[in-house]
Amino acid sequence: MRYDDDWVGKLSDTIAAGYRQGLAESTLIDAIDAERPFLSRHQGATADWMLGLLSGTDRRSLVQFADDQGVSKGYASKLRDQVAKSIFQRFKK
């Protein structure tokens, strides 16, 4: 992702951190809803967690989310990156 001030960052980091710069929340929700049928159960939960971070309704850390899902922190991180990549690809369409 590229921001107005020429800062470049990963979409997964932006979503996970809860920043809304450059992304309209409704557009992101629409993209996730469009992608949801193609996500696994864990990826769907990850997308919900990421949306919760954005909206401020979910304050769990990656470690807490991983524990809740019964997966390792490393796998939760991979899930976050997979979901972000899927959503990014949806934006490109």
Tens of pLDDT, residues 31-74: 888 899 999 999 999 999 998 988 889 999 999 999 999 999 99
Residue 75 forms part of a structural domain: yes
Q: What is the mean pLDDT of the chain?
A: 81
Say what the pLDDT of residue 1 is: 44
Residue 74 forms part of a structural domain: yes
Residue 54 forms part of a structural domain: yes
Residue 31 forms part of a structural domain: yes
Q: Is it the case that residue 78 has pLDDT exceeding 70?
A: yes
Burial level of 90, CB count in 10 A (0-12/13-18/19+)? middle
Residue 6 forms part of a structural domain: no
DSSP secondary structure letters along 34-73: HHGGGS-HHHHHHHHHHHHHHHTS----HHHHHHHHT--H
Beta bridge partners of 2: 8
Domain that holds residue 32: 11-92
Q: Between 5 and 42, where is the model more confident? A: 42
Residue 49 forms part of a structural domain: yes
Q: How many residues are given for the chain?
A: 93
Q: What is the total count of domains within the chain?
A: 1
Residue 29 forms part of a structural domain: yes
Banded model confidence at residue 92, pLDDT cuts 50, 70, 90: confident
